[in-house]
Amino acid sequence: MSEGAGNFFEDFRLGQVIRHATPRTITTGDVALYNGLFGARFAVQSADTFAKKIGYPRAPVDDLLVFHVVFGKTVPDISLNAVANLGYADCRFLAPVYPGDTLSAQSEVVGLRENSNRQSGVVYVRSRGFNQKGTVVLDYARWVMVRKRAEAAPVASASVPKLPDKVDPAALGGGVPRLKSKGYDYVLAGGTRRFADYHPGEKIDHRDGMTVEEAEHQIATRLYQNTARVHFNQFTESKGRFGRRLIYGGHVISLARALSFNGLANAFHVAAINGGRHVAPLFAGSTVFAWSEVLERQEIPKRKDIGALRLRTIATKDRPCEDFPLKQGDEYDPAVILDLDYWALIPR
């Protein structure tokens, strides 16, 4: 492999462990830039004063900023030559991250499957993010379609891992200290609803929309040191399938999460991602809207301070969500770009 060329499908081996460059110290500047790009308003991540009153030493870094930074570390080795990032599963946020913490990442190849056209294959990896103390702060699986360098190149026998449909609620809560409930100010948090106020089957229109500009999505992706060419190189992408730069799928996740404040203001912590699908691509100039459905409401063993909401958040492009668009028959509505299933923690 020439340096900087990235791995192709035939370069991966089952059980292969890859340590990723480059460690990254998260600063308050990174947090400010992230907030400037997405406008998230969750009080716990916004104010040291609020976070301290409920038991944190200071405001933690937004969970999705942690995810994107760790994800970005994996791109040069896993998905530089990707056709598409296909999905996520068993993603757990295991410990809080604070400004000043340094994150690094490591991945293990847990599955491989060549596509029938022999031009690409699907690589399954288990990636972990660590802080400077060696504590695992994030653990997740993802699968990505990667090009082959040569169609005739021999590849390993197919092996597809079995991944859980959802993260067990009993495994949630490690990223949240025991809350001092009397310190939680619902007025400052921006919403009065807590755990018992949500019910399975309830649908929430998050109302607002955010238009994505070309510079914004590139700045965001560079913030994570994500080097995937499809997001930056218009010279190359103008000759490709779409004729323009593709917005990083994680950008849509962060937009949908920020929009979800309308209706879910107290669901302050993304504890786990059960699964996710980037249904369709997004390009600059489109406006993102979102809605969520409450799939489950679960207590967490030995935790009386917080509960877990299993949420399915749907993001659309150029289509408001007051009628909760999802599918037309067996197919997704043409406006749907993201289908995300995750656990969020909320005060009881």
Domain-embedded: residue 267: yes
Amino acid 1: pLDDT: 47
Amino acid 155: pLDDT: 87
Domain-embedded: residue 104: yes
Amino acid 228: pLDDT: 81
Task: Tally the domains of the chain.
Answer: 1
Amino acid 59: pLDDT: 98
Amino acid 3: pLDDT: 66
Domain-embedded: residue 194: yes
- DSSP codes of every residue in 110-148: EEEEE-TTSSEEEEEEEEEEE-TTS-EEEEEEEEEEEE-
CATH of the domain at 87: 3.10.129.10
Domain-embedded: residue 4: no
Domain-embedded: residue 155: no
With the C-alpha atoms ordered 187, 190, 193, 195, is the resulting torsion angle positive or negative? negative
Domain-embedded: residue 3: no
Domain-embedded: residue 233: yes
Do residues 126 and 139 make contact, with C-beta atoms less than 8 angstroms apart?
Answer: yes
Amino acid 18: pLDDT: 97
Domain-embedded: residue 22: yes
Rounded Cα–Cα distance for residues 147 and 122 (Å): 9
Q: Note down the domain range covering 37.
A: 9-150+160-347
Rounded average pLDDT per 10-residue block, the chain, 348 residues: 78 96 97 96 98 98 98 94 88 97 98 94 97 98 94 89 95 94 95 97 98 93 87 83 88 97 98 94 96 98 96 98 95 97 97
Q: Please report, for residues 56, 314, 319, the alpha-carbon distance to residue 180 in angstroms, rounded to integers and kept in the order given.
A: 9, 32, 40
Q: Where are the beta strands (DSSP E) in 242-286?
A: 269-278
Q: Which residues pair with 18 in a beta bridge?
A: 107
Ramachandran angles phi, psi of 159, nearest 5°? -150, 115
Predicted confidence (pLDDT) per residue in 318-336, tens digit: 999 999 999 999 999 999 9
Sole residue written with tokens 């040069």: 76
Do residues 14 and 109 make contact, with C-beta atoms less than 8 angstroms apart?
Answer: yes
Do residues 126 and 95 make contact, with C-beta atoms less than 8 angstroms apart?
Answer: no
